[in-house]
């Protein structure tokens, strides 16, 4: 009977961990996607100072908010996005206004996919 | 490299705990489903050990789930005979009253050579000596010989010796073995008294076995490697 209790507790803990990881992932990726939208708006309004400020902030926020992602996600999935995120303020500083929107769109798309990666959807399960 | 080493230590400890929780069944006695789970666990454990880019949890979570499912499945199998039959099947009688059932052999996908090999492993070289042969759910073959081929027991010749129980280890490498003492109903004081009689301190004992009738066998450290050992 003791072993059955251990089994049930283990399954409950795993289920809890799954819910927590999905919540953490969705919550943080949604926040980061919102930030990319803000950066895009500032960029479209030609407010380069604010865009630069938001891009710098975005890099810091990304590092902070994806700190626990490698606990349950492939490290390469996170580091691949990080490489692109770091490029954003550098592109702005260098005045490369042609590539910046494309890089920003790529980051948003990658974050969007990352947010769905842990969801128990059929396409992820199968 | 340090990461791999640390991850290996964590997984090693985790696997020991998981196997301990799963229970004491011997590998040869595993039901097919248990064997598959054991193989799966070993495979799952190997992946995060080698791939440091993979989260450790991706290896540990499937193991936890498999062990938990296995425990629940075995609990259900103990509760319900129907469920046990569904998962593990039923034993199949291959030889009944000395007659070979070829249909049963076909159902088991066993050849006569396979059957003879299993019989030989049980010291039966002639199939005619078997009254019953049963293929168990874990894949092993059980054999019951015909009455005239069964070995004679002490009961058959009405010379039953007194039940002294099996000799068990009571001292191993200078340390008392509690379960052994409990099994043969002896106390530490009794062991110490016997050792005192033999003028042998506890730390000098390599092995001491005893049975319920207080018969014991003592092997000192200095006697190991030679044909040593003392009886009372």
* B23 in contact with A, Cβ within 8 Å: yes
The nearest alpha carbon in chain B to A8 belongs to B68
Mean pLDDT of B51-76: 87
Is the domain of B6 the same as that of B78? Answer: yes
- In the prediction, which pLDDT does A9 show? 92
- In the prediction, which pLDDT does A76 show? 85
Assess contact for B117 and B139: CB atoms under 8 A. no
Q: Which two tokens stand for residue A94?
A: 């260098």
CA atoms within 13 A on the CB side of B215: 8
> Which residues in chain B have their CB less than 8 angstroms from residue A8's CB?
68, 72
Q: What is the pLDDT along chain A (126 residues), one digit of tens a residue?
A: 788 898 899 999 999 998 998 998 899 999 999 999 999 898 888 888 888 888 889 999 999 888 888 888 888 888 888 888 898 889 888 888 888 888 889 999 998 888 888 788 887 777
Looking at every residue in chain B, the average pLDDT score rounds to 86
Assess contact for B73 and A3: CB atoms under 8 A. no
- In the prediction, which pLDDT does B164 show? 78
- What is the band of B187 on the pLDDT scale with cuts at 50, 70, 90? very high
How do strand B168-172 and strand B175-176 relate by DSSP bridges?
A: antiparallel
Which residues span the domain enclosing B144?
A: 92-149
- In the prediction, which pLDDT does A100 show? 87
Last residue of a domain, one of B105, B120, B149: B149
- In the prediction, which pLDDT does B27 show? 58
Residue B59 resides in a domain: yes
- What is the band of B191 on the pLDDT scale with cuts at 50, 70, 90? very high
| CATH at B110 | 3.30.240.20
Mean pLDDT of B145-170: 86
- In the prediction, which pLDDT does B45 show? 84
Residue B159 resides in a domain: no
- In the prediction, which pLDDT does B229 show? 59
- What would the 3-class secondary structure string for chain B be? CHHHHHHHHHHHHHHHHHHHHHCCCCHHHCCHHHHHHHHHHHHHHHHHHHCCCCCHHHHHHHHHHHHHHHHHHHHHHHHCHHHHHHHHCCCEEEEECCEECHHHHHHHCCCHHHHHHHHHHCCCCCHHHEEEEEECCCCCEEEEECHHHCCCCCCCCCCCCCCCCCCEEEEECCEECHHHHHHCCCCHHHHHHHHHHCCCCHHHEEEEEECCCCCEEEEEHHHCCCCCCECC
Dmax of chain A from CA atoms?
68
- What is the band of B193 on the pLDDT scale with cuts at 50, 70, 90? very high
Residue B162 resides in a domain: no
Name the residue among B164, B154, B177, B181 with its Cα closest to residue B215: B164
Residue B114 resides in a domain: yes
How many whole angstroms separate alpha carbon A89 and alpha carbon A106? 14
Is the domain of B8 the same as that of B79? Answer: yes
Mean pLDDT of B12-18: 87
> Which residues in chain B have their CB less than 8 angstroms from residue A7's CB?
67-69, 71-72, 75
- In the prediction, which pLDDT does B150 show? 87
Over residues B107-142, the pLDDT tens digits come to 888 898 989 999 999 889 998 999 999 998 888 899
Residue B219 resides in a domain: yes
The nearest alpha carbon in chain A to B20 belongs to A3
Mean pLDDT of B216-223: 88
Residue B231 resides in a domain: no
- In the prediction, which pLDDT does B25 show? 63
Is the domain of B96 the same as that of B135? Answer: yes
- What is the band of B93 on the pLDDT scale with cuts at 50, 70, 90? very high
8 Å CB contact of B55 and A4: no
- What is the band of B24 on the pLDDT scale with cuts at 50, 70, 90? low
DSSP letter (8 states) at residue A70: G
Is the domain of B210 the same as that of B177? Answer: yes
How many whole angstroms separate alpha carbon B65 and alpha carbon B21? 13
How many whole angstroms separate alpha carbon B151 and alpha carbon B223? 37
Q: Cβ neighbours of residue B207 under 8 Å, at least 6 residues apart?
A: B169, B171, B172, B173, B217, B218, B219
Is the domain of B8 the same as that of B59? Answer: yes
Mean pLDDT of B95-112: 90
Residue B230 resides in a domain: no
Residue B28 resides in a domain: yes
Q: In this model, does residue B228 exceed pLDDT 60? A: no
Is the domain of B81 the same as that of B12? Answer: yes
Chain A interface mutation, best of B56, B59, B68, B75, highest count of A Cβ atoms under 10 Å: B68
Phi, psi dihedral angles at B53 (to 5 degrees)? -80, 0
Q: Is the pTM of this model over 0.95?
A: no
DSSP letter (8 states) at residue A119: S
Q: What's the domain count of chain B?
A: 3
């Amino acid at each position: 009977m003791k072993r059955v209790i251990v089994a049930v507790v283990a399954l409950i803990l795993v289920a809890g961990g799954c819910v927590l990881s999905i919540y953490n992932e969705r919550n943080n990726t949604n926040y980061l996607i919102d930030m990319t939208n803000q950066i895009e708006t500032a960029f479209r309004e030609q407010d380069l100072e604010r865009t630069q400020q938001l891009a710098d902030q975005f890099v810091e926020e990304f590092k902070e908010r994806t700190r626990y992602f490698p606990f349950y996600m492939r490290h390469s999935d996170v580091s691949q996005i990080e490489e692109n995120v770091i490029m954003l303020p550098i592109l702005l500083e260098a005045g490369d206004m042609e590539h910046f929107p494309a890089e920003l769109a790529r980051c948003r798309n990658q974050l969007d996919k990352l947010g769905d990666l842990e969801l128990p959807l059929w396409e992820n399960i199968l | 490299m340090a990461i791999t080493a640390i991850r290996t230590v964590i997984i090693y400890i985790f696997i020991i705990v998981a196997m301990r929780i799963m229970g004491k069944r011997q590998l040869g006695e595993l039901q097919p489903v248990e064997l598959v789970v054991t193989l799966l666990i070993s495979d799952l454990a190997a992946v995060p050990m080698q791939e440091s880019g993979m989260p450790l949890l991706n290896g540990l979570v499937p193991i936890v789930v498999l062990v938990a499912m296995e425990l629940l499945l075995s609990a259900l199998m103990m509760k319900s005979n129907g469920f046990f039959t569904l998962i593990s099947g039923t034993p199949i009688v291959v030889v009944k009253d000395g007659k070979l059932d070829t249909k049963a052999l076909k159902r088991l996908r066993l050849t006569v050579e396979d059957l003879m090999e299993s019989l030989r492993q049980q010291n039966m070289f002639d199939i005619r000596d078997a009254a019953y042969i049963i293929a168990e759910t874990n894949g092993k073959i059980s054999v019951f010989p015909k009455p005239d081929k069964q070995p004679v027991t002490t009961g058959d010749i009405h010379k039953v010796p007194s039940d002294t129980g099996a000799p068990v280890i009571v001292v191993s490498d200078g340390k008392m073995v509690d379960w052994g003492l409990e099994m043969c109903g002896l106390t530490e004081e009794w062991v110490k008294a016997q050792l005192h009689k033999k003028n042998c301190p506890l730390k000098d004992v390599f092995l001491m076995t005893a049975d319920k009738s207080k018969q014991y066998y003592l092997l000192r450290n200095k006697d190991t490697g030679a044909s040593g050992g003392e009886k009372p």
